[in-house]
């Protein structure tokens, strides 16, 4: 089945782009990665993939994206480190929707600059069916749907627009993408910035990045396959004891949910020993953190992300 799909989409992209150039925002997530590889098969070096390092990526993510897409797949990859710019724009901002809006706007600005440099004619997007079906009634403003095409005034190509997530994963596998990509948990566009409650600073993001890596690592080691597993920096300090000394440190919340499509979700009954291991590692490996809580709330009423 995928052979035909690939052949058809590759043909369509090739024909549409012709002698022009196309650009894609590559995040390393399964959707944009799959769209990028499909487009690369179709038009090779005429595809310019742009990876914007917002400063809110997961641990080792920028390195992984460069290694995979530039070194291994040979994509024409533009790596843009815009982290200083994102942190500067978010200085002093604490309101969740304002954070999302700013991140979305800066992302578009950065991407627009590259698109102009490249002199692109087409925009390739990894939009999948739920993105455009759900984007109308959204509770939160998602920065990865809608914003880019309107502003850029480029021809839009969406090779995955009729697919659902599980189909994209199959296709990604078929295209030879690494398992780390096709089996990966969803990760929000605004990244770790919405997992640091309150102000987003490089130091606070660094704390949640480490905690998040520990959560992902222990969930994987335990052989669990939740929809998502992550850490959130609450911005609440609590009292603890270290040796004979009173300490006053940050609190991390751990969220692990099961879901089919992200629209509703249940808190996962993660075995207690796994949770304890996570708490132990976070408090011993991250000096700023003194307490770890497990979020037992379903969606609804709580959303999956905290902001």
Tell me which residues touch ligand XMP (CB under 6 A): 139-140, 142-144, 186, 188-190, 228, 262, 299, 303-305
Closer of 140 and 173 to ligand XMP (Cβ): 140
HEC profile of 18-39: CCCCEEEECCCCHHHHHHHHHH
Q: How far is the CB of 132 from ligand XMP (least distance, A)?
A: 13
Closer of 151 and 237 to ligand XMP (Cβ): 151
Closer of 29 and 290 to ligand XMP (Cβ): 29
Beta strands in the chain (DSSP E): 22-25, 47-53, 76-81, 122-124, 155-157, 228-242, 245-258, 266-267, 289-294
Instruction: Give the separation between CA 24 and CA 185, rounded to whole angstroms.
Output: 21
Gap between the terminal Cα atoms of the chain: 39
Q: Which two tokens stand for residue 209?
A: 């990045």
Q: How far is the CB of 290 from ligand XMP (least distance, A)?
A: 26
Q: Which two tokens stand for residue 82?
A: 């815009």
Closer of 210 and 305 to ligand XMP (Cβ): 305
Q: How far is the CB of 266 from ligand XMP (least distance, A)?
A: 12
Q: How far is the CB of 155 from ligand XMP (least distance, A)?
A: 23
Residue 266 is classified by DSSP as E
Q: How far is the CB of 12 from ligand XMP (least distance, A)?
A: 25
Closer of 146 and 186 to ligand XMP (Cβ): 186
């Amino acid at each position: 089945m995928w052979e035909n799909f690939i052949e058809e989409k590759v043909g369509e992209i090739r024909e549409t782009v012709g002698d022009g150039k196309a650009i894609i925002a590559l995040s390393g997530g399964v959707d944009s990665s799959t769209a990028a590889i499909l487009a690369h098969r179709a038009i090779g070096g005429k595809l310019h993939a742009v990876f914007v390092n917002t400063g809110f990526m997961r641990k080792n993510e920028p390195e992984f994206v460069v290694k995979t897409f530039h070194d291994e797949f040979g994509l024409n990859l533009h790596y843009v480190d815009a982290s200083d710019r994102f942190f500067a724009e978010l200085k002093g901002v604490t309101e969740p929707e304002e954070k999302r809006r700013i991140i979305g706007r800066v992302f578009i600005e950065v991407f627009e600059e590259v698109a102009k440099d490249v002199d692109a004619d087409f925009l390739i997007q990894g939009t999948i069916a739920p993105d455009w079906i759900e984007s109308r009634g959204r509770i939160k403003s998602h920065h990865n749907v809608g914003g880019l095409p309107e502003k850029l005034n480029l021809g839009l190509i969406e090779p995955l627009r009729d697919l659902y997530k599980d189909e994209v994963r199959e296709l990604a596998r078929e295209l030879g993408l690494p398992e780390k990509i096709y089996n990966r948990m969803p990760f929000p566009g605004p990244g770790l910035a919405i997992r640091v409650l309150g102000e987003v600073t490089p130091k606070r993001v660094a704390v949640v990045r480490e905690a998040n890596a520990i959560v992902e690592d222990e969930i994987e080691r335990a052989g669990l396959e939740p929809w998502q597993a992550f850490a959130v920096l609450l911005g609440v300090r609590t009292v603890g004891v270290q040796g004979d000394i009173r300490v006053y440190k940050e609190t991390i919340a751990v969220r692990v949910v099961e879901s089919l499509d992200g629209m509703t979700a249940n808190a996962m009954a993660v075995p207690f020993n796994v949770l304890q291991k996570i708490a132990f590692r976070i408090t011993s490996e991250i000096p700023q953190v003194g307490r770890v809580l497990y979020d037992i709330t379903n969606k609804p009423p709580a959303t999956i992300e905290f902001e």
